[in-house]
Structure 1
Amino acid sequence: MENFNIELELNSIKIKQNEYFEAGVKKELSDSTKRLLHYHWTTFVEWCEKHEFPPLPTNEQVYSLYMTHHLFKGSKINTLKMKIHAINWANNNAGFNSPYTINVQKVWFEIVKIQNGVLDHKLPLVLQILRLIIRSLNSNSLTEKRDRAIILIGYYGALRRSELVNLTFENIHVSESGLTIELFSNNSIPTETVQVAYSIDESICPVRSFCSWKEASGLEVGPVFRAINLHGHISDKKLSDRSVALILKKHLSVIGIDDTLFSGHSIRSGLTVSALINPELYTLVQQRHRPNDKLLKRYKSNSDDLFSENAAKDIGL
């Protein structure tokens, strides 16, 4: 059996990719367009190599992640269009099917809406940033245990800020499958049941975080999330809606991210956007539009079967 040299193989692939690309740009294009296409294709290849993704053929998930990455960096629509053109051009001239599939288009349309102000300008809390925040919450203080539980339950359950702060211990049930959260209207009428599964990654598990907070706080009844003073005393009153945004912004600042780009709603929208980035998952997301909120789609929670179809679980959370 021949020895396999991965460096030589990767170099060979890179040469072929460049050959395919150069063959394509020999078509009737201006010199400036050729330079732009070459620049953006090279940038994409370097990004793929850094994250150990295959540039060619470009798959849906890599394509979507790349676009979202540049959205967070502040790239404008015209710049993103050129990046898309370069990726499509290289794939087509390499003999591959167009990577600009219907799933990639869905992500692109959401990006355009954000850039054009159709959607809230605040960015969603995507998985990469979520992991950084939770990793920074490495102490055993009551405040950090509470904050970890707020962020993870809000993210996994795609809960509104008002729903988060109105949670009580009486309407959260823990089982071997995860959390069953009962949501109520202002009139104390049950409106929905949300299932939150255990995470594959224990470090960002909402169920374990909830249990850790409950044990540390010693609370059994009443509001789940409450104010904590400098002396570690837990208030009897629930947090305000605004507190959720302040907690998120505080921890974004700690990890060096501009907190003005995010809001309390970023927690809730994060799971949906992470699902959009994973095209295979998108079809599992149920079309459930809630009043005054056409962006988010949440899973219906009619049975325990939903634990196995949970969006967060399917994207490796």
Structure 2
Amino acid sequence: MTNRDAAVVLPERVRTELRRGVRSVLVDTAALRLVRERFDDNQASALHRYLEASQSENTLRAYRTDWVAWAAWCLAEHRQALPADPLDVAVYLAAAADARKADGRWAFSPATLDRKAAAIAAVHAANGLPSPTRSDVVRLTLRGIRRTRRTAPTRKRPVMLHTLDQLLAQLPEPGWPTEPARRRDALALLVGFAGALRRSELAGLRISDVEVRTDHATGEPLLVIALPTTKTDPTGAAEQRIALPRGQHPHTCPVCAFADWIRLLEAPGNEEPVDPKVHRCHGFTGTHLTDDEQRPLFPTINRHGGIGDTAISGRAVAELVKRYAARAGLDPALFSGHSLRAGFATQAALGGASDREIMRQGRWSNPRTVHGYIRTANPLDDNAVTKLGL
């Protein structure tokens, strides 16, 4: 149990249920029992499966935790969790807003409290009930919390180009059994940075999502990566793609890193030594491994160098960045999986890229988000204060 969990008193039976893991709180199990009475098991199972797939796993995981915490509070206070009284929800959120960790810090941020309210609303909607969070007492309580607890959002440090060099310098030594992790991790860092990918997007890539094309300006290969789903396009309807050209330097070239990784996967254990000072992507045209449409681009790897069949998780991407930051002598607490995406935007802004160019590669739809990175990179850029003549 974490310090944050300790801020909410959970009865033992609820705590056991949370440890065991509960099913999707967004699926009305009582309604599904009625479905099974009217339809066969295959039809009911199909409905259940697609209802669960309606939200991302990260959202469901957060909602499960939030709903169990709300149900535990209701149990302790002798209140009804479903359907909920709006006043009960407001009191619960206010109590959570005042909760502190053992070290005196706030247990929950205003954004987390907004999510707790969203979880309660989602469960009510899934059960065909009106949401108690739409009432004035809940809305005004959340507004008051935000006004009282006005704090700047905690931003992780971006991985800049020089930071990326530091991380890459900490890759495992060449040779077995660390060679698979060395090549996979190098590719993950470079693709995550140059592609401005979210950690979930990076972890979810398959080899079949990567197409090797020719850059007609240079005649050299480039990578075009199709993103199956993204945070802003969970169904994949937009068919978003990013292009990764050949790098100027071999050790930071995404195409070289992809070629190195593919050659190892095609002949594991028989890999040739890699010279980081020489481009290895020249003449690289792709791989037959794309025939397996479900093969992950970034699979798990054990300490013996064994390559698994399942993909790494988004959390593993964040841990990867933190691990190499620590090896480089940097504070791992300052970095996260988002550091690669933030680093792309900040470094591109420093390099003179326009808003439109940064938004295109990073797939940002709101210019205000990009402007935040640009202000971080150069606060005097396009700023009238430089024209004051002070």
Q: TM-score, normalised by structure 1?
A: 0.52
2:228 is matched with which residue?
A: 184
| Native 8 Å contact 1:184 1:190 kept in 2 | no
Unmatched 5+ stretches in structure 1: 1-115, 298-317
Change (3 A) 1:133 1:184: same
For residues 242 and 191 of structure 1, the distance between their equivalents in structure 2, rounded to whole angstroms, comes to 25
Alignment partner of 1:232: what SS? Answer: coil
Change (3 A) 1:119 1:225: same
Q: CA deviation at 1:165?
A: 1.0
For residues 263 and 151 of structure 2, the distance between their equivalents in structure 1, rounded to whole angstroms, comes to 43
Alignment partner of 2:241: what SS? Answer: strand
For residues 293 and 284 of structure 1, the distance between their equivalents in structure 2, rounded to whole angstroms, comes to 8
Change (3 A) 1:232 1:286: closer
Q: CA deviation at 1:190?
A: 5.2
Q: CA deviation at 1:182?
A: 0.5
Once the two structures are superposed, the pairs formed by residues 175-254 of structure 1 within 5 Å of their partners are 175-177=213-215, 178-185=222-229, 186-187=234-235, 189=237, 191-218=239-266, 220=289, 221=292, 222-254=295-327
1:152 is matched with which residue?
A: 190
| Native 8 Å contact 2:172 2:181 kept in 1 | no
1:135 is matched with which residue?
A: 169
Change (3 A) 1:262 1:164: same
| Native 8 Å contact 1:182 1:190 kept in 2 | no
Return the letter of the residue paired with 1:251.
Answer: Y
2:207 is matched with which residue?
A: 169
Q: Pick one of 88, 113, 124 that aligns with 2:158.
A: 124
Count of residues in Structure 1 that have an aligned counterpart in Structure 2: 181
Alignment partner of 1:174: what SS? Answer: strand
Residue identity (%): 29
Unmatched 5+ stretches in structure 2: 1-149, 216-221, 268-288, 372-390
1:272 is matched with which residue?
A: 345
Alignment partner of 1:199: what SS? Answer: coil
For residues 295 and 254 of structure 1, the distance between their equivalents in structure 2, rounded to whole angstroms, comes to 31
Return the letter of the residue paired with 2:224.
Answer: T
2:353 is matched with which residue?
A: 281
For residues 132 and 201 of structure 1, the distance between their equivalents in structure 2, rounded to whole angstroms, comes to 15
Rg: which structure is higher? 2
Change (3 A) 1:282 1:189: closer
Q: CA deviation at 1:117?
A: 5.7
Q: Which has the higher contact order (CA 8 A, sep 6+)?
A: 1
Return the letter of the residue paired with 2:200.
Answer: S
| Native 8 Å contact 1:226 1:237 kept in 2 | yes
| Native 8 Å contact 1:252 1:258 kept in 2 | yes
2:25 is matched with which residue?
A: none
Alignment partner of 1:295: what SS? Answer: helix
* Pairwise CA RMSD: 2.5
For residues 268 and 277 of structure 1, the distance between their equivalents in structure 2, rounded to whole angstroms, comes to 15
Q: TM-score, normalised by structure 2?
A: 0.43
For residues 283 and 208 of structure 1, the distance between their equivalents in structure 2, rounded to whole angstroms, comes to 28
| Native 8 Å contact 2:159 2:339 kept in 1 | yes
For residues 180 and 248 of structure 1, the distance between their equivalents in structure 2, rounded to whole angstroms, comes to 23
For residues 281 and 117 of structure 1, the distance between their equivalents in structure 2, rounded to whole angstroms, comes to 30
2:329 is matched with which residue?
A: 256
Return the letter of the residue paired with 1:285.
Answer: E
Change (3 A) 1:284 1:174: same
Alignment partner of 1:285: what SS? Answer: helix
